[in-house]
Amino acid sequence: MLLLSGCVSTSPPASPPAPSAAVAPRLSPASDADAAGMVDVRASVPDLALEIRYASADNFVGRPVEGYAAARCYLLRPVAQALQRVERRLRTEGLRLKLFDCYRPARAVGDFVAWAGDLHDQSTKAAYYPRLDKSALLGDYISPTSGHSRGATLDLTLMRCGSASDPATCTPLDMGTPFDYFDVSAHTDWPGASPAQREDRQRLLAAMAREGFVNYPLEWWHYTYKPEPTPDTAYDFPIR
């Protein structure tokens, strides 16, 4: 997920004008990955670990999300190439990546917004936002636009592997919270994390930063490739 917040002046005569709202990216007419210039990451890393949560019911919405007809990871080509380099280096250290989400259709973002507005549905509160009212998610944690829809943002974690050639020996590292956990404990530099959890979060941060990925500080799992190849364009083709 992506948290967006802005500052608004409460005293117009004495304070500088509030910054103008960010302009939403244009929606591309691309109807599939090829037309959008995206590639399936498994084309370059066939055994890359994927756990695409929004294609299943194992997510904060509690059901498959609109636009996710398959558990696949698409990214713009330069982003996928950078991710391949991250994975290649990590494997020399006995580590691997596990991806939770990559390109996200704009329609899926709309599905999130509709879910957040339904305050009667609290079925996933205990697992994903136990210390927040659901009313606090919309506007603070769930935005009408997402960097994922631009094909350069992904959510992921690290695994340690007993064998570089056998993914069955890999176990996700303990990062202190689950993926998509709406809480301050998911902040990358959360001081309450154990020394081992902080070290592993920083290990992921360093591995991604070497290839141009920038972390979103409120979510240890969230990274965007910079500079983005298409920063002003969002995509909406379904994942099939």
pLDDT at residue number 23: 61
Closest CA to 66 of 112, 26, 34: 112
pLDDT at 145 over 60: yes
Biggest distance spanned by C-alpha atoms of the chain = 65
Query: Dihedrals φ, ψ of 172, to 5°?
Result: -60, 140
What is the extent of the structural domain holding 38?
A: 33-234
157 sits in which H/E element: strand 153-161
Banded model confidence at residue 8, pLDDT cuts 50, 70, 90: very low
Interatomic CA distance for residues 79 and 133, integer angstroms: 35
* Residue 65: strand pairing partners: none
Residue 5 lies in a domain: no
- Residue 180, domain member (yes or no): yes
> Are the CB atoms for 239 and 105 separated by under 8 Å?
yes
Q: Give the tokens for residue 89.
A: 């280096």
Give the rounded percent of residues in the chain with a pLDDT score beyond 70.
90
Q: What three-state secondary structure class fits 113? A: helix
- For residue 185, the domain's CATH number is 3.30.1380.10
Average pLDDT over residues 111-125: 97
Q: Is the peptide bond before 25 cis (omega within 30 degrees of 0)?
A: no
- In which band, very low, low, confident or very high, does the pLDDT at 7 lie, cut at 50, 70 and 90? very low
Q: Which residues are catalytic?
A: 219
18 located within any domain: no
Q: pLDDT (tens digit, 9 = 90+) per residue, 77-102?
A: 999 999 999 999 999 999 999 999 99
Mean pLDDT confidence for 47-58: 97
Structure-model confidence comparison of residues 106 and 166, the more confident one = 106
Mean pLDDT to the nearest integer, 52-73: 98
Helix (H, G, I), strand (E, B) or coil at 112: helix
Provide the pairing of β-strand 26-27 with 233-234. Answer: parallel
For residue 4, pLDDT over 50 is answered with no
Residue type, 85: R
pLDDT, tens only, 168-180: 899 999 999 999 9
As for how many domains the chain has, the answer is 1
